Amino acid sequence: MTPSPFSIPANARRIDPARQRATALKKDGSVNDNDRVEIGPTPLAFAEWERLGLEPPHLPTLRAYRLQRIVDQLVARDLGGILLFDPLNIRYATDTTNMQLWTTHNPARACFVAASGHVVLWDFHGCDHLSAHLPLITELRSGASFFFFETGEHTDRHARHFAAQIDELLRQHAGANRRLAVDRIEVAGVRALDALAIEMCSGQEVTEFARMIKGPDEIKAMRCAVAACEASVAEMHQAMRAGVTENDVWAALHAGNIRRGGEWIETRILSSGPRTNPWFQESGHGC
């Protein structure tokens, strides 16, 4: 008799750690191994794109292009680096994702990119494995939280500790340049960086100008994203019938999005497309 999965001891390994990892690559350049944590297109999405004659982007090339776009903007503006808390900007710079909606209103993750190209990612504690497949991240840390829900009456102390790390990184990788772009930050962080004589500049301007010019692989990703969106919307149309509610229709759209590897749908506007493609969660309009 086949044993029930519930009879497996709690301390037993479900995955053999000695198992050799797959060496083949998917068409987007990612490892063809389902024992992984990265979010990406599903076999359904790849099959649909192949039928449409669409070529997926090469992810390692796309990631390097986006990081270079940020670095170029920093150099052009004589900035020592940029500090990112917006999860969409972090995704653009590093292609990492972790609790995207939650960290939108709970800034527990951060990223620093130096004009030299040095990248530091502060992820949520215990989540180092989520970015283990990304070689462009130079350092991985934790402890970027200094908002009241997380740190309470110790918020100022946590902010000072974090600001000291930024000060250290600027001195190491920007020399005497104290100009730091910041996209958004808690008040305690502003005060802590000010106290260290760090000159804060507009980080949103840097990231928006970086996004302005799309690379060849981004164009491919946009085409694939549009195709995945259209397929999900077509399934939504099929679900529309007499007696069905708007929530039922939205459920069909969400299902199509998830089935193709998307993370979430940002709005409930029927004329707006879903974020069906994880490559483009850094922008509000799939671009």
pLDDT digits (tens, 9 = 90+) for 23-75: 688 888 888 776 666 678 999 999 999 999 999 999 999 999 999 999 999 99
| pLDDT given for residue 38 in this prediction | 67
| pLDDT given for residue 21 in this prediction | 52
Residue 96 has pLDDT above 80, yes or no: yes
CATH 3.40.350.10 in the chain is located at 77-212
pLDDT > 90: what percent of the chain? 61
| pLDDT given for residue 205 in this prediction | 96
Kindly list the strands in the beta sheet with 81-84, ordered across the sheet, starting from the edge strand earlier in the chain: 139-142, 119-123, 110-114, 81-84, 179-182, 199-202
Question: Smallest Cα–Cα separation from 134: which of 84, 88, 87, 96?
Answer: 96
DSSP 86: S
pLDDT > 70: what percent of the chain? 84
Question: What is the average per-residue pLDDT within 98-120?
Answer: 93
Residue 280 has pLDDT above 50, yes or no: no
> Which pLDDT band holds residue 276 (cuts at 50, 70, 90)?
very low
27 C-beta neighbours (distance < 10 Å), count: 15
Strand runs labelled E in 124-165: 139-142
Average pLDDT, the chain: 85
- The 10s digit of each residue's pLDDT in 181-225 is 999 999 999 999 999 999 999 999 999 999 999 999 999 999 999
Question: What is the average per-residue pLDDT within 92-104?
Answer: 90
| pLDDT given for residue 104 in this prediction | 87
Question: What is the average per-residue pLDDT within 80-93?
Answer: 96
Residue 131 has pLDDT above 90, yes or no: no
pTM above 0.85? no
Question: What is the average per-residue pLDDT within 251-258?
Answer: 93
- Could you tell me if 121 and 137 are in contact, meaning their C-beta atoms sit under 8 angstroms apart? yes
Residue 128 has pLDDT above 60, yes or no: yes
Question: What is the average per-residue pLDDT within 240-257?
Answer: 90
Residue type present at position 239: A
Which residues are within 8 A (CB) of 232 and not within 5 positions of it... i.e. 6 or more apart? 253, 256, 257, 259, 260, 262, 274, 276
| Segment holding 84, helix H or strand E | strand 81-84
Q: Please provide the DSSP assignment of 14-46 as one string.
A: SS-TTSPPP--B-TTSSB--SS-------HHHH
- CATH number (3.30.70.100, 2.60.40.10, 3.60.15.10, 3.40.350.10) of 77-212 reads 3.40.350.10
Which residues are within 8 A (CB) of 252 and not within 5 positions of it... i.e. 6 or more apart? 235, 236, 238, 239
Within a 13 Å sphere around the CA of 60, how many CA atoms are in the beta-carbon half? Answer: 9
Q: Measured between alpha carbons, how far is 161 from 154 in angstroms, rounded to an integer? A: 11
Residue 15 has pLDDT above 80, yes or no: no
Residue 5 has pLDDT above 60, yes or no: no
What phi, psi does 24 have (nearest 5°)? Answer: -70, 155
